[in-house]
Structure 1
């Protein structure tokens, strides 16, 4: 992989794309999670677009749910259908989407009461386990969407995780 000598200065995110196995189930999940309906839904079938993805063709259904400052593109590939990644957090290439909350304890409790299955206990960053010091007191919890995509809720402290 070539790395440029000068930075590319890519500093603004537009959207995150998440491949899903059942678009309707994923729309329901993310709509319940965010309280927002899709702003766009559709289909696409294209050889040229498929090639942009490194695929021979791309036949897909999609929906976009907009958050403040970031879109979530949910994409169900119908041809070619891919295999589930089982994207555990420690596997290179896996990713997670972090959602910022203002009242962690209230959101975490509401999610638990609604049946969200967290991967482990919630966690508050403490001295001796994290740097920088600005992160102390940050609260996090991790869970998965229906296809196993890693998701996180966070209530940052100080200037951490803007």
Structure 2
């Protein structure tokens, strides 16, 4: 079997500029790439007739975040709850969840203030402009 290396986590967005601005301002991450893809091979590969897409890749430290806006756009869906089957979220580790939470602009929707779980992990969930769940965590909070 070949060695596996994770390349990116992808999030489909309706407004690429707004999503990029959100992730860059909230997580202070650099833009790695910006590009477009279209053509028959792409449309066939993603199984969307006549698809094209605009992409932005952002550096979230140990993972590349891929934001993608498709044409044609898909249907809007209600934001997932964490206990919905198939619900997905992005996890981002920070040194201090409380400091991160305190630095968030008032416009950022959070599910609750930071909480420490039974495992000693400090967590805080927020939503990006499209409603995607983001877990901000420090798994070593109990040893700080």
* Same fold flag (TM > 0.5): yes
Deviation of residue 91 (structure 1)? 2.0
- Matched residues in 2 for 1:39 and 1:32: separation? 15
Change (3 A) 1:140 1:42: same
Pairing 1:15-54 to 2, within 5 Å after superposition: 15-54=8-47
After TM superposition, the structure 1 stretch with the greater mean CA deviation from structure 2, 144-153 or 44-53, is 44-53
Stretches of structure 1 lacking an aligned partner (at least 5 in a row): 1-7, 127-135
Q: Does structure 1 retain, via aligned residues, the 8 Å contact 2:42–2:52?
A: no
Q: Which residue of structure 2 lines up, in the alignment, with residue 119 of structure 1? A: 111
Q: Which residue of structure 1 lines up, in the alignment, with residue 76 of structure 2? A: 84
- Matched residues in 2 for 1:69 and 1:140: separation? 19
Q: TM-score, normalised by structure 2?
A: 0.86
1:152 correspondence with 2:135? yes
Pairing 1:131-142 to 2, within 5 Å after superposition: 136-142=119-125
CA RMSD, Structure 1 to Structure 2 (Å): 1.9
Deviation of residue 68 (structure 1)? 1.7
Q: Deviations over 1:107-133 (max 9, x none)?
A: 11112xx2122113422112xxxxxxx
Q: TM-score, normalised by structure 1?
A: 0.77
Q: Does structure 1 retain, via aligned residues, the 8 Å contact 2:125–2:133?
A: yes
Change (3 A) 1:53 1:108: same
Q: Does structure 1 retain, via aligned residues, the 8 Å contact 2:115–2:123?
A: yes
Deviation of residue 40 (structure 1)? 0.9
Stretches of structure 2 lacking an aligned partner (at least 5 in a row): none
Q: Which residue of structure 2 lines up, in the alignment, with residue 99 of structure 1? A: 92
